[in-house]
Amino acid sequence: MAKEAQIKLRPWCPFCGQDVGRPKEPAQRKMDEFTVGECQCGATYTCDPTGFNVGAAMVEAIVHACDDNWDLAWELLPDEDYLTGRIDNYDEQNHQVYETKNVDGRKVAGVLYFVRLNRELAALANRLHTDKNAKDSALLKEDPASDLPAMEPARDPKRKKKRADKGAVTRMMAEQDIDGLVDMAFDDLKTLRFIQRLLYDPDEGTRWQCAHILGQVCRRLSTRKPGAVSDLLHRLYEACSDSAATHWGLLESIGSIIAARADIYGGFTRHLLMHRGAPSSRVQVLWAFGTIAEKRPDIVRATPFYSLFPFVSHPEAITRGHAVRLFGRIAATEVESEIEKLTGDHAGLTIYEQGQPVHTTVAELAREALARLHTAKEPKND
């Protein structure tokens, strides 16, 4: 007897009944990565292909509906501010919904989670997003698109691919051969793992240089393989969470990678704040935020950066200096009076820029920060 055919349907919106398109990867990568989509009726949805992370998918859908405004998202109340719906037995592979959880011996347990804000909240989210864009454009010194790397040329598929090995990667890192490292990374992604191993060096200068080179390699690699760089960021964060291991070079590398392609990986920035309280990683977090803020202060201001304000008056000069560097770059007028007090602080410190040490003082950094703050206050002529 012939087996009955499975009933399958195209996914639909539970609010308006229209067919919805296949959810896609967001332009900006995040720690919790879900594919997202939008319905014509205004609903947003996320896909959990396994069915085991519906809670995280729900949060992602709400945040996406609020135009990535986390503060607004956490203030919303279900049923009052937004409605939810879900479609079970979704097969991400075929973009179909089946009547059972098993198709041709393959488990189908995906979930599409839908969120639709009420009309007032949707208008508020849109207005806040517009206001944020206006403030961000006032902070930015130049168009972010002008800093994007050129698309890497496609490699010949018939070429003999290079195989990464520790010796070759170590040699190219010592020679700062970024072109060679990029070519090898396109052929063998193990190159990134070998570079990561070189971060565990007792010499501080070597660690900072390795972190900078890794950021530049990922900047170019991301033009064709953004997923590989995203996976690397996940591994680096995971390594940072290991309490039994040293964090040498990890946070510096995360900051370098995000700063190199903040348009794609800016969503990873807020997770750096988890490490701000540890004395061994406090300066690295401030450095990473300051480096990202040099070109994209809007991304830093989108995080709860105010938790870093107390570091302006920290007893250690290196912490004060890095905090002042950061707040000047994001035009944090909230701590302007505290920065003014540091213009007479001549304690010395070393800050690494582009992998190279720069010797300066807290007072010099404070004067630079105040100059940026005053420039940000000046009205711009259209």
One pLDDT digit (tens) per residue for the chain, 382 residues: 345 556 778 898 888 888 899 998 876 666 667 889 998 888 999 999 888 888 888 998 998 888 888 888 888 888 888 889 999 999 988 899 988 888 777 888 899 999 998 888 888 777 776 766 666 565 665 666 667 888 888 888 888 888 999 999 999 999 999 999 999 999 999 999 999 999 999 999 999 999 999 999 999 999 999 989 999 999 999 998 877 677 889 999 999 999 999 988 988 998 999 999 989 899 999 999 999 999 899 899 888 899 999 999 999 999 999 999 999 999 999 999 999 999 999 999 999 999 999 999 999 999 999 999 988 877 655 4
CA nearest 184: which of 212, 159, 206? 159
C-beta neighbour count of 99 within 10 angstroms: 11
Residues 114 and 228 in one domain: no
Residues 132 and 219 in one domain: no
β-strand partners of 44? 38, 115
Amino acid at 40: Q
Residues 224 and 275 in one domain: yes
Report yes or no on 173 lying in a domain.
yes
Task: Mark which of 139, 156, 187 sits at the end of a domain.
Answer: 139
Distance CA 40, CA 18 (A): 8
**Model pTM?**
0.74
Give the residue carrying structure tokens 């973009």.
95
Residues 67 and 189 in one domain: no
Are the CB atoms for 361 and 367 separated by under 8 Å?
A: no
CA nearest 15: which of 128, 122, 126? 122
Residues 93 and 189 in one domain: no
Residues 209 and 325 in one domain: yes
Q: What is the DSSP string of 260-289?
A: HTHHHHGGGGGGGGGGTTSTTTHHHHHHHH
Q: Which residue range(s) make up the domain with 133? A: 8-139
Report yes or no on 53 lying in a domain.
yes
Distance CA 207, CA 201 (A): 6
Q: Could you give the 3-state DSSP secondary structure of residue 324?
A: helix
CA nearest 275: which of 316, 242, 300, 226? 242
Residues 213 and 345 in one domain: yes
